[in-house]
Amino acid sequence: MLRAGHRAGVAVSGGADSVALLLILLELREKLGLTLLVAHFNHQLRGAESDADEAFVKELAARHGLEFAAGREDVAARARENAWNLEDAARRLRYAFFEELVTAGRADCIAVGHTADDQAETVLARIARGTGPTGLAGIYPVVGHVMRPLLEIRREALRDELRALGQDWREDASNRDVSRLRARVRHTVLPLIERELQPGAVKHLSELAHLVRDEESFWTALVQSCFESSVKQSGVGLAIRIVDLIQPPPIRGALAQTPGESQALEAVSKRLIRRLAAENRGPRGQLASRHVEQVLRLAREGHSGQTVPLPGGAVVERVFDRLVFTPPQATTVETEETTGAATSYEYSVELSGESSATVIIPEIRKRLCLKVIDWPSGARDTSNSAATLDRDLLRPPLLFRNWRPGDGYRPVGRQGTRKLKRLFQEYKIPAGERKTWPVLTSGGRLAWSGKLPVAKEFAAGGKTRIAVAIEEESL
């Protein structure tokens, strides 16, 4: 967790665990080559007592010649403003303070005083509330810049050490408020289990969390491999083909004809859904197993256009053979043609001689590059004409604009004119991408339309000498 030269912030609340952590690191700092910073966050929840905690920690830091950093926030007020649970608000703001210290360069990492008892209480509380394997992993020893060196040490052992050293600490009376779940588990449930069922309960629950974390490391790596091989960024969110969700490529075929194949594939699919949802997580709400089941049902039985709302405002939509995960507050896109609601743009472009041209369209965050290329005779009868224009057939004005209701043209290889709306459906273009779909008009006639085939009347062919290829690049 710690290396020579590290500037370690020690989160000290004034309680026994954090005071013991500070004294342990003081003993080890020369051996490990550390510089220590004492960090205290005042939650302002207990008035004068909170201020007395801060004064106690400040004096402790001064006694040992350590730099002291204090943060304070009216946690209760912030919780009301954001509709947060009070404990959740305290945790968010406290860890935000720690992050500020690291970002400002005052510390390389922050050590906090969670113990084996905290680990056991966390696992037990999650079991009581309802959790899956991920929740059983409990508290992780290292998360980002935060580390927990005491996670395998019992709380009472630390207090015994403090008493032996004659070091006092502060007691937070709110920790004994049994109206809170954590306090009930700490002062009532866990002691009862140790007394009546299993004296080694804390040790066993901590070991369970450790074993599950090992398993989660494997699952995390597997799901990330599935995510990277199958998930693409669409116009409005993250998209995955349904076949890749139901049978992820990294394990497709590997489980064929094995017992439990369908259950194993479903387990991967569910975790992949959670991974996708995590990318679009809103400010509130927690994904539950029922949400995962609804998304899985949408993939297996739904039809294009159906949606599943997720906690926090995210939405999953089925778009033909794909699922698209849209983050909260993303622009709602209508599936029908509209006029006033569409984002309109129009940019002119000039092609002179054999020079290429580039047009930047910020509305769709794309750069469109018109590349003028020689069209050798060997290419004149190939399928390249479906994506390439004949420069000599293009007439000014050349305009890039968004598609409009009524747009139509005869695509290469087709008989007769096709409406662009019909081509969107035929080529399975997601509704979220249609509204700002780019087209190129030549003399007022549609010549090019993104990934769709070019117009027959402008396509490169047997008489073409110089061709124009249009490439799209994301900004």
Residue 112's SS3 state is: coil
Fold of 7-210: Rossmann fold (3.40.50)
* CATH architecture label of 234-326: 2-Layer Sandwich (3.30)
Helical pair 289-301 and 261-279, crossing angle rounded to 10 deg: 110
Give the model confidence (pLDDT) of 53-73 as tens digits: 999 999 999 999 999 999 999
H helix or E strand, kind and range, residue 33: none
pLDDT (tens digit, 0 to 9) for every residue of the chain, 475 residues total?
888 999 999 999 999 999 999 999 999 999 999 999 999 999 999 999 999 999 999 999 999 999 999 999 999 999 999 888 898 899 999 999 999 999 999 999 999 999 999 999 999 999 998 898 999 999 999 999 999 999 999 999 999 999 999 999 999 888 888 888 889 999 999 999 999 999 999 999 999 999 999 999 999 999 999 999 999 987 678 999 999 999 998 887 777 667 778 888 999 999 999 999 988 775 556 788 999 999 999 999 998 889 999 988 889 999 889 999 988 865 443 333 333 344 688 888 888 766 788 888 888 888 899 998 888 755 544 445 567 899 999 998 899 999 988 899 999 988 889 999 889 888 888 777 787 899 999 999 999 999 899 999 999 988 888 999 999 888 7
> Helix, strand, or coil here: 17?
helix
Strand spans (E) along 157-201: none
Q: Where are the domains of the chain?
A: 7-210, 234-326, 346-474
pLDDT tens digits, one per residue of 443-473: 999 999 998 999 999 999 888 889 999 998 8
Report pLDDT digits (tens) over 333-349: 333 333 334 468 888 88
Pick the CATH number of 346-474 from 3.20.20.70, 3.20.20.150, 1.10.1060.10, 3.50.40.10: 3.50.40.10
pLDDT of 256: 67
Alpha helices (H) along 407-470: 420-426, 431-434
Residue 136 CA, distance from chain mean position:
21
The pTM of this model reads 0.70
Cross-strand pairs, 240: 231, 323
Report the alpha-carbon distance of residue 373 to residue 309 in Å, rounded: 48
* CB 2 within 8 Å of CB 8: yes
